[in-house]
Amino acid sequence: MGLGLVVVMGLAQGCSKEPEETVSGDDMSTSLMDMVETEDLGQVAEEDMMPLEDMGGSQTEPDMACVDTTVYEDEDGDGYGNGDAQMLCLRSGEEPPEGYGLSQGDCSEGDPLAYPDAEGVCNDNVDDDCDGEDEACPASQPDEMSVPAWDCTGDAPENVYAWARFDDGMGYFKDNGCFVFFEGKKDIFYVQRNVERASSDSSCDTINGCTCPSLNGWPSYDRRMYAFTRLDVDASECEEVSIRDHGGEDQPVSNGCRKYLYQMHHYDIPYSYVASSFEGVRQRIELFSKVEIACVEDAPHANLPYQTLVETDIVLNPDFQKK
């Protein structure tokens, strides 16, 4: 009855004259059903039906509906921002698009290793975890350390996580020197230095050393020589590190592009602390995947500029075995 009524009404609205023969609603319904099988109606409906997404909608299941979520502009991709809050509609478990984070309070936007509660880099005189202070390095425990006896040739010991080898010392260091990142104790990672200066001149043993170059014959000194882990970009694109001679030991020696690794004029220190967790060393090397040795700028003196001496990629050990 319902189908017959709809069709008759459609005929009445679409025709300009009365039909020559009157057909009852029941007869009309039967006649139409004879012409069109029910399964044909179903096929037509499926074939002709426009998908919801083509109409600007979404075939989203109820449990996948998006929810208005507060996000913050995040320049460095560490998940934290410090800009104005914005609202985005995100599904459960969905990450915000690139350039936005779910948390607020980044104290150093532009530095992917600096955010609230970050592990950070110790003794670089930079506040990485946003608590207003530099992170202190843990006390060394050499008697309990597993320090690899390895020169970056042949197979790496299983507690070596990664290494960085300088095939060419560029005249500043002996060729094939390297840094070795290793797990010294469970979840405590260090870097071992196997880099020796090229010159054996006795003048190199003085307090000023002989490695860092200068311009125009200006006296130089090796206390401004550091090793950094660096973002995988050209050295000229990185913010330089600058210190002042006699400026004290609390001068910042890290930034958003270079992270302090070693103070190179301390030749008597065989290894240095890197991270207190596997995630900490993994994140640092993933983000800052090069090692660079440089003489940093001595700010008051134009003849002592920032100069990169050597650089190389960090290589992960495929056979690393965590303790």
Per-residue pLDDT tens over the stretch 58-82: 444 555 788 988 888 888 888 888 8
Contact (CB, 8 A) for 165 and 301? no
CA gap 209, 184 in Å, rounded: 30
pTM reported for the whole predicted model = 0.76
| Helix (H) / strand (E) containing 258 | strand 258-263
Cα torsion angle, 288, 251, 118, 163, sign: positive
CA distance 160 to 318: 10
Give the pLDDT of residue 300.
87
Domain positions in the chain are 67-104, 142-316
pLDDT, tens digit, 9 for 90 and up, residues 143-157? 778 999 999 999 999
Task: Give the C-alpha separation, 291 to 255, whole Å.
Answer: 14
Q: What is the pLDDT along the chain (323 residues), one digit of tens a residue?
A: 444 433 333 333 443 444 444 444 444 444 444 444 444 444 444 444 444 344 343 444 555 788 988 888 888 888 888 878 888 898 988 888 888 888 888 888 889 998 898 998 999 999 999 999 898 888 777 677 899 999 999 999 999 999 999 999 999 999 999 999 999 999 999 999 999 999 988 888 888 899 999 999 999 999 999 999 999 999 999 999 999 987 877 899 999 999 999 999 887 788 999 999 999 999 999 999 999 999 999 998 999 999 999 999 999 999 999 99
Rounded-to-5 percentages of helix, strand, coil across the chain: 20, 25, 55
Q: Please give the distance of CA 213 from its chain centroid, rounded to a whole number.
A: 33
Residues 6+ apart with CB under 8 A from 56: none
